[in-house]
Amino acid sequence: MIEPPLFRFLAAALLIAFVAHRAYYSRKFPPSEAATVDKLRPGLASRLAEILSILALASTATYVIDPSWVARGSLPLPLWARWVGVGLAIAGFGLLEWSHRALGREWSEQPRLTQSQRLVQGGPYRWIRHPIYTSFLMILGSTLLLSSNGLVGLLWISSVAIDTTVRIRYEESLMSARFGEEYQAYAARTGRLFPRLFSRRGSG
């Protein structure tokens, strides 16, 4: 089966757009080390996520150049499922931009606590505590459907899952210590990555 060039192009465009978006906000809101109280220091899990992301990038580049080189990972997905992947990626970029606009200067590429840290509860943060990480899963996880390749998709999903788990654990411990009961009440009515259907009773 000949792989449609369109999906190879879309896979490449997706990663280029993702990297460009991150670079834009990293340049727009450079971290202030002087105002930093604490920040995440990469450990073993973060290193593993980094290695997996490199492998994921390499597998995606291989898929774009010549899909036959990663044909062992091919999945028999129908065409409509691949377009669902495209839609998932587009929705993920929309959520990512919405989240950045809500956070403004509170955003940092490397999770950190600053002296003037605020607890943002507007935009998507009204329902989800970590919508940026949700968007990562949507955008990079969409490669599983878009490429119809398990190797490409699962490498991205594994990398993002490990990295976001580390980041979420660190960020929530910091925010809970900084904002105390206010954060506990906020956590009780929101979900980590997806909206909470029912609030926890007896919290906050």
Q: Give the pLDDT score at 202.
A: 43
Q: Give the pLDDT score at 79.
A: 95
**Tens-digit pLDDT profile for residues 57-76:** 999 999 999 999 999 999 99
- Coil, strand, or helix at residue 118? coil
On whether the CB atoms of residues 108 and 124 are closer than 8 A, the answer is: no
Nearest alpha carbon to residue 144 among 55, 77, 67: 77
d(CA 186, CA 169): 16
Using CB atoms within 10 A of its CB, is residue 39 exposed (0-12), middle (13-18) or buried (19+)?
A: middle
> Which residue has better confidence, 2 or 139?
139
Q: Give the pLDDT score at 1.
A: 58
Neighbouring CB atoms inside 10 A of 116's CB total 9
**Tens-digit pLDDT profile for residues 166-178:** 999 999 999 999 9
Using CB atoms within 10 A of its CB, is residue 81 exposed (0-12), middle (13-18) or buried (19+)?
A: middle
d(CA 176, CA 113): 11
Q: Give the pLDDT score at 35.
A: 83
**Tens-digit pLDDT profile for residues 181-204:** 999 999 999 999 999 876 555 433
d(CA 95, CA 172): 20
CATH number of 5-189: 1.20.120.1630
Q: Give the pLDDT score at 198.
A: 62
Q: Give the pLDDT score at 144.
A: 97
For the chain, the domains span: 5-189
Question: Model's pTM, two decimal places?
Answer: 0.92
**Tens-digit pLDDT profile for residues 103-154:** 998 998 888 888 888 999 999 999 999 999 999 999 999 999 999 999 999 9
DSSP letter at 154 equals H
On whether the CB atoms of residues 36 and 110 are closer than 8 A, the answer is: no
In sequence order, the 6+-apart residues with CB closer than 8 A to the CB of 117 are 37, 106, 178
